[in-house]
Structure formats: C-alpha cells, structure tokens
Amino acid sequence: MVVVRGTHRVPGDKSITHRALMLATLAPGRSTIRGALPSLDARSTAGVLRALGAGISALRSGKVVQVMGRQELVAPRSTLQCGNSGTTARLMLGLLAAQPFQARLTGDASLRRRPMRRVTEPLVHMGAAVQAGRHDGLPLTIRGGPLQPLDWTLPVASAQIKSALLLAGAVAGVPVTLHEPAASRDHTERLLRHFGYPVRVLPGLIAMEPGGRITPFDMPVPGDPSSAAFLLAAAILADGGEIRIAGVGCNPSRLGYLAVLGRMGAPVGVEGVREPFGEPIGELVVRAGPLRAVTVPAAEVPGLIDEVPILACLAARAHGTSRFHGLAELRVKESDRLALVAENLRAIGVTAEVQGDDLVVEGTDALLQGRVRTAGDHRMAMAFMVLGHRSPGRIVVDDPGCAAVSYPGFPAALAALAAGVA
C-alpha cells in the first residue's frame, strides 16, 4: 500500500527561468535569479546568452544565479547551440531579430525537426532577414536590425511564438499587436508589464507599446506548475494520504490542468497566493482518490499543453473512457506526443487510440506492464514513471534520464512522496 504525505517542492519554473535569464542579459548591470531551474533546457539558454556576451554563473541546484547584463549584445563567434529547447530557439530568434549582427542557431536532432517558420515569418515581416534550409526548422541564420511595428495573427495559440514577437518589439522599441486564437501562458506579458511596458490583454488580443526599461533585478523563480502536475498525479494514484507542494507558480495560464483534475474527481486546492514580479506563487494541496473519465475540449488544450501526457496516464486509471480533443500541436513537441502517448499506453496494456487529432483512452484497473519508448521526451518519461510508481519494475521507461530536461532528480522526488520527505 502506498500512502503519500508531507510538503514537497518542485524545481523552478522552466518557462520563467528562460525568460528571467534573457531579461537579465538585457539589463545592464548585475541581476540575481533565485530558484532558477538548473535543467538541460535552461542551461542551453544560459549557454546561448553567454555566447552573446552575458556573464552568467553556473546553473546548479539550490544555487543563486548571477547575471551580468549588457547594454548591447555581441555577435557570436560560432553557431548558437539550443540543445533540445524549443523555448531557447524561438525566444532567442525574437531577441536576435533586433540585433545589428548575424547569428546562426541549431539544436539536437529532435529540435531540428520542430517548426520555426511560424516565428521567423512574422520576424521577417518586421524587418529581420532569415536564411533557412529546405525544411521548416533549424539550423537557420538570422540577421537583425531596426524593426517595424507588427500587427500579426498567430496561426496557433503558442506562448513561444507570442513571446518571441513581444521580445523583438520590446528590444527594438516598436509596438506589437498579436491576434491569438486562444489564450496561452502569459509569463512574458507579466514580466514586460513589470518593467514598465504597456501591455494590454483582451480576449484574442495582446498589444504592447514601447516605453518600458529593463533594469537589473532580484527575482524569485516559483516552482514549475507543469513539474508539480506529475507529483500531484502520483499522489492521486496512491492508496491514501495528502501532499502539499509549496512555493509553486499559480499563474492561471499554467493551471488549466487543475480544472481537468477536478472533473476527474481529484480537485486540487490552491492556497496562500502572493505575486512577486506579477507572478502568482502559492501552495497546491491534493488527496489520493478514485478517478472518473473526462472529456477535454480543444479550447482547453492551449492551457494544459504540457500536461496532456500525464493526464492521459491518469485517464488510463480512471473509470470510463476519456477523450482529449484538438491535440494537433502535440505532434510538433519534443516528440510526436500524440502518437507516442497512445503507442506507449497500448504497450503497457491500456486501450488507447488516436482519432484524427483526438486521443481516446479507456480506463482500466488491470495490472499494467511493458516497455515505454520516450524518444528523448522528458514529459513522456515522467508521465510513465508516475504510472510505474505503483508497480516497480513492471513499467520500464527506456530513457528515464531525459526527465532532467525539465525536472532534475525526478525519480528521487517521486520516491519521496510515499516517504513524506520534504
């Protein structure tokens, strides 16, 4: 019997860590970032920024990060390596679009397959020059310079595309108006607003005017709510008990999965919220309990895009048949997550299928066992490690180490739930 207990913490928010490093680089002087995520993705961003002239101390667990920013970035001497990080590549394109030099970006095999034209096309419209290969991805070369104002309709709801264009406008000092088909996470808007940029957000519209100024800062990075979702899921699947996750980001644009959990019969409480730098930070509380099937409409997906793999794994243990609609964007993540989630569920004994861009999962209480293929996708690894937590050794994840992309030390954190280790 597995009973969970205790107060736990998760590593720093990956999205905010990326953005804090970039903004600190643009702030002339010394900035301090507390609780930054020392993941592989965040280290990719730090490495790229160092190549552009920033002084950034090592990203290590529990260590404060010091950043010496610059008035002007410098041209890199070699190709910028973005690793596996789509956030690094896309947001850096926005920063580089306003710089008076040329830079070339690349990444690992997975990142080179991910689409970039949805970012580069509006940047070219603003005045940047982009040279890409035959396909819609890295490697590519961008030459920046003075940019023009932008009024653009985003093809998909994407925080990465939106953030790249807002950062380009902020650095270049030009207005940016974006029409978004659905709401996506809003960390960039909140941070720019904190630094004095007028950012107006209406349903389907984000409009930023120049006028802000990025100055050195001392920022706390909240715990990553996407990482917290995996511990919450493990606690829900336990035989009993309750856990609290302290100091976690409670930005509404990141907590769409809480509504889904509530409909499944596992409501999560949010307590003690405060808002440094405009970002809500609080505590999440959840108890173990039975689950029922759920339907997730396409309109909800942009607000829980990173949590679909773990929600699908929870659906495998829910009573009834769950349906997730409109998951096309999962096909262009670190892996084709839509196909891979279904494939892996079937591999361990769950009935699951892809119907167009929808995922259908039939819940079961049967013993699950088999081998899971991650394709190097950190969220795939963590989701199936959670399912395997109840049956050690029966669900084998082929590359558990890739979880370090977003959650260094995840296996130990998972084990600590039952032990009640804070």
385-392 — which CB contacts under 8 Å span 24+ positions?
385/230, 385/410, 385/411, 385/414, 386/230, 386/233, 386/234, 386/237, 386/310, 386/313, 386/414, 387/237, 387/313, 387/316, 387/317, 387/348, 389/2, 389/234, 389/237, 389/414, 390/2, 390/237, 390/238, 391/367
Q: List the catalytic residue out of 239, 306, 357, 358.
A: 306
- CB burial of residue 85 (10 Å; 0-12, 13-18, 19+): buried
Strands 29-34 vs 55-56: parallel, antiparallel or unpaired: unpaired
- 């730098």: which residue's tokens? 277
* Burial of 223 (C-beta count, 10 Å sphere; 0-12/13-18/19+): buried
Q: Which helix (H) or strand (E) holds 242?
A: strand 240-249
Task: Give dist(CA 329, CA 357) in Å, integer.
Answer: 9
Q: Is 377 a catalytic residue?
A: no
Place of tokens 């930054």: 36
* Alpha-carbon distances of 15 from 35, 146, 393, rounded to whole Å: 13, 27, 32
The bridge status of strand 321-324 relative to strand 295-296 is parallel
CA 6 centroid distance within chain? 26
DSSP bridge partners of 396: 371
Which residues are part of the catalytic machinery?
306
